[in-house]
Amino acid sequence: MPTLEDQYQLEYEMVQEGIRRYRRNNDKMSSKGIESKTTYGRMMIASVVQEVSKGVAKLQSTTTSNRDIARKKLKNMNADQVAYLALITVIDGISKRYTLMKVARGVGMFIEDQARLQVWLEAEGKIAENIIRQANEKSGRGSKRTGLIHKMNKDGYKDTEWTNEERIHVGLRMVDIIIQTTGIIAIKRQKTSRNKTTTFVEATPETLEWIQKSNEAGMTKRPRYSPCIIPPRDWEGLFGGGYHSDVINLLPFVRAH
């Protein structure tokens, strides 16, 4: 017959399996270049998006130069959306190290897609909404983007495309805004082959430390729950019944979000 010690061991294994699952998910998201979908990625975006949005709004209201390509492209866009899209692109590779041009181009392309979709939605209304809804049912960000761009171009909106120069201008400005308003990333220059200097975007030491602490705190909070092998502990209130050991966080009597 199972004993209390057996139950303790089961609960310990539940926590360990939750840790392994948490790590597998992080490794999977990181290898796919979508760290913004991890728990720490979502938390990071939520904590800084408003500051980045303020930086975008400040750029949009600046009138010092009519030749500012980034300001021209962003002036009619929603600042919150622009901030969110830029952060997704940056945080997708926050644990890695990419060249500034690669990051800037990616940020610019992501924001360009939103700008083009905005024009398309305003012109086509419900038709465009239905197509976007169908695209969102597909898996994979790349396949969604490819399908929507093909449809927009086919419907006569190819002239809404940005040039590569415009994408990079917007991307560079957004990287600078993220650095100035959040400090989660930094620019590093390094000499490569033949004494060439390459500029990289990388997470700051403080950001990497925060990610590590966030993971350490989060990985034990989601055990892989299993039924008790002995009678569960009695409930003494709204919390604390069910499992017996202290390795499992106190569970609520009624599960709710």
Residues 6+ apart with CB under 8 A from 115: 73, 77, 160, 162
Query: How much is the average pLDDT of 209-233?
Result: 90
Give the mean pLDDT of the chain: 89
Is 13's pLDDT higher than 90? yes
* pLDDT for the residue 4: 93
Digit-coded pLDDT (tens) for 104-130: 999 999 999 999 988 888 888 888 888
Residue 235 confidence (pLDDT): 83
Question: Residue 63 class from Cβ within 10 Å (0-12 exposed, 13-18 middle, 19+ buried)?
Answer: exposed
Residue count of the chain, please give it. Answer: 257
H-helix or E-strand containing 70? helix 69-74
Helix (H, G, I), strand (E, B) or coil at 62: coil
> pLDDT at residue 257 above 60?
no
Q: What is the mean pLDDT of residues 82-107?
A: 95
The answer on pLDDT for 240 being more than 90 is no
Which CATH number is associated with domain 32-218?
A: 1.10.1320.10
Please check the confidence at residue 151 and state whether its pLDDT lies above 90. no
The mean pLDDT of 215-242, rounded to a whole number, is 86
Please give the model's pTM, rounded to 2 decimal places: 0.83
Quote the tokens at residue 146: 């490819």
Q: Where are the domains of the chain?
A: 32-218
Cβ-contact 145, 85 below 8 angstroms: no
pLDDT of residue 132: 83
| Confidence (pLDDT) at 128 | 84
Residue of higher predicted confidence among 140 and 241? 241
